[in-house]
Structure 1
Amino acid sequence: MDKLLYKKVMSRGGAFKQAPILKADVVDEEKHIILVKFCSFGTVDSDGDMLMKGCISKSIQERGPASATNRKIQFLWQHETKNPIGRILSIEEKDDGGYATVQLSDFDAVPDARRAWVQMHEGVLNQFSIGYRYVWDKCDYDPDLDCLIVKEIILHEISVVTFGANEHTEYIGDMKALDDMERYVKALRETAPDEYEKVHSRILSMFKAEPAPAPLTSRSSVFEKLGQIKN
């Protein structure tokens, strides 16, 4: 439960998940239609999550290509919401993961669609990433596997990306999440004092039991900063 709470706070509700392009087949060379596998099921990823088959079924139903909504799941360039580069024709779940058939946009009108097509063929671009939100009541922490079992996500977009993450982006993201986590714990103190006591005591006990690793920056670690929050 402690690790589930920690991930919940640190993620700020949303997340990006990177994965290598395990499958990228050309369906129609002339129309620039590709088939991609954008996530895997049943394996623990580098974020400590295990996406389960069925986790995107509700998103497909509610915002997939066949849905009535105008806020459909998008195919983007580098997570840029202002830069969609193709139209998702179909999304489906198979036993091993999520698959999407995508028609890239007109190359003259959308240069990054051409760029993605060329660089995927060259092998320069070899990763996809999904943007989504956790559905927390459909997530469970498995202590034996030391991972979060994710039974449902709200899938917003699929992106072709250069890197899964870079050091600078991770650093800024961590600092923002740290501030959010501090505000969350302080809010617990005001709105749910019993829960606050549990969280605060647990953080302090963890900090005392295990010496904090040497900081990578001059900023205090998460547990050091939270340990300074007084009753």
Structure 2
Amino acid sequence: MEDFTFNEQKDVSLRHKITDDIRKAIFRGRLKPGSRLREIEMSRQMGVSRGPIREAMRMLEQEGLLYSLPYKETMVAEITGEEVAEVLIPLRLTIELYTVRKALAFMNDEHIGRLRAIIDDMRDGAAKQDATALADCDLAFHEYLVTLSGMGNMIGIWKSIYNRIRLHFITQANAYEDLNVLCQEHENLLGVITDGDQAQIAEALTAHIHAVNFGIMKQS
């Protein structure tokens, strides 16, 4: 936190705004994994009491973006390759394979068009060398597929790991080898989904999530 300062807060209703400001600082790489968040310092920078800051930090702990130990400072969460390999990838595969299979019965040209539009946004991000935009689009693509299933329980589970997946994207953003490859990966996946063969979709989705490791990245 030594190299980052928060803006003074103007709004009376603060908890959600403070939560959003801290979340954005994490996802934009302004607050790095392991950075310590000090309530007193944040209170001074924002011009608010420590109460709404504490509430915001508690919400972000529930999202998996912060963690704290008893009687110690709160820190920006880190994510390990072990968690990615042994927790996030298996969870993603279970949820996405199941929900995509369910979503196929409802999928129409409008839905395919929306997925294509997300890929177009990916290409725009790639052209601008904006890895954060690529991460947002990647997650938007997969979340839309999950949402199409209409299964609220699965959508809820997906949302519970969303920020951990996104944190992995952001912390590995500089390891992208070729942003355009990620766009093509999703274009190929959409082609298989459009064809509608469930076995091929399962194979392609499994290969995609394992091969790209959330975005054509190499672990540094």
Q: TM-score, normalised by structure 1?
A: 0.27
Larger Rg: 1
Query: Higher helix share goes to which structure?
Result: 2
Q: TM-score, normalised by structure 2?
A: 0.28
Query: Higher strand share goes to which structure?
Result: 1
